[in-house]
Amino acid sequence: MKAYIFPGQGAQFTGMGKDLYDQSEQARDLFETANTILGFRITDIMFTGTDDELKQTNVTQPAIFLHSVIMAKELGSRFKPDMVAGHSLGEFSALVSAGALSFEDGLRLVAARANAMQKACEIQPSTMAAILGLDDYTVEDICQRISEIVVPANYNCPGQLVISGTVEGIDKACELMTAAGAKRAIKLNVGGAFHSPLMEAARVELQQAIEATEFKEPVCPIYQNVDAKPYKDVASIKYNLIAQLTGAVRWTQSVEHMLQDGATSFTEVGPGNVLQGLVKKVNRTIETKSAVI
């Protein structure tokens, strides 16, 4: 069974999507539609922008979404997923590619999500940190012992978790994680505490947009971040998508469940190959590859 996976924030690079734009009229039309919907020429930033320009949340999220979704459309009849999943933002790319959302509606939701998250970041100083070399239980236990808001945010692969919270809370957590034997505890250069209770304002704002958007049943199950389980019914998909902003990305568990349900290969659709590396950390023998047009 073929699993298709879609990357999230951090996979961006200067020049992303230019090959698609140059070689396909369909891709060009979709990119230009995106420029119109967003109200600025995101293609200019994607193709020739600086790293700093690409790092802006209101650019990064739609840029990665566009690269992933347009690549899936360019695969045409070769895109035949038995199951899909996306890491954080990538969940929107997966839903559009699997037919649950239109391209236009998906892009509008991603833009709304990026703007809502940016606003939430400005309410209180917050950040994230990668914790390497500790088991899940130890990380969870240390987070619970800190009085500040600190929670596991991304279960990326065994031995690699990202935590999210207030600046003071993350600083304290990094000290305790290192003392507990973490190989590394690295603060990340991000705008705020994504996938934590500090994103509540963004969740409320995005909820209104999601509830007002038409979703359809996808062509295959989508393994959603909040509980790593497969869904096809629209009501559950919407609920989980809203909960995702303040809940953890359970990527390790999603990959494990896809393997248990019969996945024999994982194809990453979009910029980079980060997710393939994470899949290999869960199962070294499984076939992984990047989508190629």
Q: Which of the residues are catalytic?
A: 88, 195
Question: For residues 212-238, b (16+ Cβ closer than 10 Å) or e, as one string?
Answer: ebebeebbbbbbbbbbbbbbeeeeebb
Please give the structure tokens belonging to residue 66.
Answer: 């566009």
Query: Residue 216 and residue 228: Cα distance in Å, rounded?
Result: 20
Closest CA to 104 of 76, 72, 71, 66: 66
**Are the C-beta atoms of residues 132 and 154 closer than 8 Å to each other?**
no
Task: Strand 184-187: give its sheet, edge to edge.
Answer: 150-157, 160-166, 126-132, 184-187
Closest CA to 195 of 224, 157, 164: 164
